[in-house]
Amino acid sequence: MCGVLGILGEYSLRGARDLLLLLAHRGQDASGLLWVEDRQVTTSRSMGSPARIIVPDKVSQFILGSTRYPTTGRRVTSEEDLETFVGPFHRGRVSLTHNGNVTNVKVLSSKRYDCDTEFLAERLSNNINSNDGSLQKAFKDLESEIDGAFSVVGVLDDKLFAYRDSRGFKPLVFGRSGDTTIVASESTVLDMAGVPMERDVYPGELLIFDTGGVMESYSILQNALHTHCFFEYVYFAHPAATIENQLVYDVRFRLGRALGQTFIRMNLDPPDYIVPVPDTSRPAAQAMAEMLQVPIREIILKNRYLGRTFILRSQEERDSMASNKYIYLDGKIKGKNILVVDDSIVRGTTARKIVADLKKRGAEKVYFAVTCPPQTHACYYGIDIATDRELIASTSSIQEIADFVQADALIYQETSTLENAIGIKDLCLACLDGKYPTEHARKIRDKVQELGTTHNERDYERELSE
Ligand code: SF4
């Protein structure tokens, strides 16, 4: 995933850092800010949260920000890594920050990149040079070369620009107020800055903003098929964010209603409580509680000082964090039937631990409801599920998963109800059905099917022999 931010207008660097904090849930590996003054570029990066980025107490006309989630390259493990692993990057005349994942870097370049933002910045800079300085033509070339997802914000000379790939995989929104223009992965950033959201950047649209308040819009490539990442609505985005005119909170509420209907059809013993796994599944739990007329109880509390298990790389890290991630309200559990609601089951580690913890504390029955359908395929577009075999649903039936997590019943969302809840049909569902919308990703898929996924490297980072 990753979070991106671009600001045009005299804006405080510390204020920009505060805005970037609103995108910290999209990447907790590392973060960076870049600012331009009189065409002089300065960057400041930190491991972990944007709160740790050191910036001077001054304003800048152009600011870019990035929160990093490691889909390309390993995790940042030292200060020395920051220079090559963490955006934004400045190459040639271009400064760039990027959300998404480019699947064919190895096909296009023999150079090893730690971060595909650097690759994109170099490629775009070269394309601008080979097109007599035209940003529009440079993006047209980029679209014909790049396979994958890329929502970018950048600075070229005295202009801020934003581009969203022609499939619209990853969100990108913008707003303007007075002399200030803000482009960001999520609308919550605009809310906090007091800048009204104007709209999403359209798939295949290049926006160029100048310091005089003029915005130019260019249609670089019209793709008949948009494939917005459904997982943004289920997991990634903040519930207060609006993506493609859908409030994420409302989508999650509708996902809960659909699960409530499924629960009723299953004729199980009624639960005493609905219990959300914090934080993403709260709206769905509220909807289920209303539908089933069962009280909602926040029995599972999050240890706030730990990050998201999903974005940890090694199994040891995930196991260790899963065992410390939640604190339980002991007195509310004994003898109760509990319906737990979570956003997804990826490896099954967290679900199994929650069920075991509740049963250890005396729960009579634990049902487990999941707002996302079973994920069976790796994502090549920006989530670090590197291979299918990391997903428990790729090799196990729903009953086998229920047995593994030791739930008394496992209630999964269906793909049709997921689509209805999101309210738009042009979605990427590749991690549910293996139908990858881009050509190179399909080649990777074919190769994986041929060779299996026993490799340590991520599938999309393996060399593809044509
Ligand atoms: S494969 Fe899944 S997670 Fe990846 S972009 Fe598509 S919908 Fe999103």
Q: Give per-residue pLDDT as tens, 71-84.
A: 655 677 777 787 77
Tokens describing residue 206:
């290049």
Task: Characterise 72 by phi-psi region: left (phi > 0), alpha (psi -120 to 50), beta (else).
Answer: beta
pLDDT, tens only, 229-276: 999 999 999 999 999 999 999 999 999 999 999 999 999 999 999 999
Q: Where in the chain is the domain with CATH 3.40.50.2020?
A: 247-427
CATH 3.30.1490.20 fits 3-226, yes or no: no
How much is the pLDDT for 85?
A: 81
* pLDDT band, very low/low/confident/very high, at 314 (cuts 50, 70, 90): low
Highest mean pLDDT among 24-38, 99-113, 130-144: 130-144
Distances (CA, A) of 448 to 5, 108, 381: 35, 20, 16
pLDDT, tens only, 168-190: 999 999 999 999 999 999 999 99
How much is the pLDDT for 466?
A: 42
267, exposed or middle or buried, with CB in 10 Å at 0-12, 13-18, 19+?
A: exposed
Q: Is 2 a catalytic residue?
A: yes
Asked if residue 388 lies in contact with residue 394, where contact means CB atoms within 8 angstroms, the answer is: yes
CATH topology of domain 247-427: Rossmann fold (3.40.50)
Q: What is the mean pLDDT of residues 25-53?
A: 91
* Mean pLDDT, the chain, integer: 91
Residue nearest to atom 2 of ligand 1 (CA): 431
Q: Is 333 in the pocket of ligand 1 (CB under 6 A)?
A: no
Best of 71, 101, 231 for a ligand 1 pocket test (most atoms within 8 Å of beta carbon): 231
How much is the pLDDT for 312?
A: 52
Q: What is the mean pLDDT of residues 55-63?
A: 96
pLDDT, tens only, 361-410: 999 999 999 999 999 998 989 876 667 878 999 999 999 999 999 999 99
How much is the pLDDT for 456?
A: 55
Q: Where in the chain is the domain with CATH 3.60.20.10?
A: 3-226
How much is the pLDDT for 322?
A: 61
> Is the model's pLDDT at 455 over the cut of 70?
no
How much is the pLDDT for 396?
A: 95
Best of 229, 234, 310 for a ligand 1 pocket test (most atoms within 8 Å of beta carbon): 229
User: Which atom of ligand 1 sits closest to the CA of residue 230?
Assistant: 7
DSSP bridge pairs for 334:
none
Task: Tell me how crowded residue 157 is: count the other CB atoms within 10 A of its CB.
Answer: 12
CA of 229 relative to ligand 1 center, distance in Å: 5
